[in-house]
């Protein structure tokens, strides 16, 4: 975490919401609200005049949308931005434009909901203050996606776990994978509702078939299943092959869905038949599960420090000895394909 007090600028067009949020955040240890702005124009001016470490921002605002503001801000003065948004498809455009993370806007009529929201936001603000910010958005490198042209690989599924910064890291990897890639299972820490939107967005962008996982969905070549925001996703096997079991449950390693739950089930069910990938994110979720995957013969990959927005989960996995190979995000798809072809 950032040493000392994290200085926060709140940007939201609702005076009522800004006032409530400022009062609550001022009570959070290690956070100081240095200003609040009603729109992007006010925010631009304040950023020049105030010491700002992290910005919290709504997406839909008058005069300039949050996404447009991010595209203007990041090339000249990159700062960590945590989005505070309702269920909005523009969220993923804003993450692509450089935002670090997001928190779903609460029901303001419920004191308990608002208090829980503020606690989650405070935690993400502190994480964001340590995040690595790119001065310019990374270009999407399009590669000719040649088919694997082999049915002999021993690997029949790929399991991926990610958190902060993971939506765009995962997209960067999936863009480079061919249509006949073995089935992919993904746990991305994200609230309920947003996982469906994320899956739908990837399905529009990619050549792969992407959907939010439902209980009983089959694992198949060219298919990507993303765990729902309130369901653990576990691998199962029957006479027809692999499928997923999705169920509500207590948080594991601090999360539901949990990367550890997915990786543990893959280690138990698929053993050496799988490739595991752990990407950027705060905390330890997935580290122990990836170690179990490697112990059962799976090939495991961890994102490196330099390309991680937050080098937490992959760092913990590497420290445990869970990572067979560490690599920058841009090279992970190539590693997967080479392993599939050689396995």
Task: Give the residue numbers marked as catalytic.
Answer: 163, 189, 285
- Cα 213–218–224 angle (5° rounding)? 50
Structure-block tokens of residue 340: 């599939």
Q: Which of 192, 249, 264, 183 is nearest to 217 (CA)?
A: 183
Residue pair 39/11 in contact by the 8 Å Cβ criterion: yes
* 97-to-73, 258, 327 alpha-carbon distances in Å: 10, 27, 23
Query: What are residue 268's phi and psi, to 5 degrees?
Result: -75, -40
Cα separation, 320 vs 28, in Å, equals 33
Cα separation, 64 vs 143, in Å, equals 34
Query: What are residue 234's phi and psi, to 5 degrees?
Result: -130, 145
Instruction: Look at strands 299-303 and 274-278 and give their pairing.
Output: parallel
Cα separation, 173 vs 176, in Å, equals 6
């Amino acid at each position: 975490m950032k040493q000392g007090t994290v200085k926060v600028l709140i940007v939201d067009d609702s005076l009522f919401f800004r006032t409530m949020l400022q009062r609550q955040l001022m009570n959070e240890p290690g956070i100081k609200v240095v200003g609040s702005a009603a729109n992007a124009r006010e925010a631009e001016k304040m950023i020049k005049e105030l010491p700002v470490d992290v910005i919290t921002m709504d997406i839909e605002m008058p005069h300039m949308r949050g996404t447009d503001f991010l595209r203007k801000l990041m090339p000249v003065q990159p700062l960590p931005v945590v989005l505070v948004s309702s269920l909005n498809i523009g969220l993923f455009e804003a993450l692509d434009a450089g935002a670090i993370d997001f928190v779903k806007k609460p029901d303001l009529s419920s004191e308990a909901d608002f208090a829980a929201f503020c606690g989650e936001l405070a935690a993400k603000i502190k994480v964001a203050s340590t995040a690595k910010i790119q001065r310019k958005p990374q270009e999407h490198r399009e590669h000719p996606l040649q088919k694997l042209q082999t049915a002999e690989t021993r690997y029949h599924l790929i399991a991926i776990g990610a958190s902060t910064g993971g939506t765009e890291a995962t997209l960067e990897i999936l863009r480079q994978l061919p249509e006949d890639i073995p089935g992919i299972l993904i746990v991305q820490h994200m609230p309920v509702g947003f996982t469906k939107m994320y899956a739908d967005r990837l399905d529009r962008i990619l050549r792969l078939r992407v959907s939010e996982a439902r209980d009983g969905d089959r694992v198949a070549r060219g298919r990507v299943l993303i765990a729902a925001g309130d369901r653990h996703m576990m691998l199962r096997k029957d006479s027809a092959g692999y499928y997923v079991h999705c169920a509500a449950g207590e948080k594991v390693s601090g999360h539901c869905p949990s990367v550890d739950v997915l990786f543990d089930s893959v280690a138990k069910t698929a053993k050496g038949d799988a490739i595991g990938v752990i990407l950027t994110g705060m905390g330890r979720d997935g580290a122990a599960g990836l170690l179990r995957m490697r112990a059962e013969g799976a090939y495991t990959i961890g994102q490196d420090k330099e390309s991680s927005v937050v080098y937490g989960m992959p760092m913990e996995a590497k420290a445990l000895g869970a990572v067979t190979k560490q690599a920058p995000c841009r090279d992970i798809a190539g590693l997967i394909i080479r392993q599939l072809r050689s396995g």
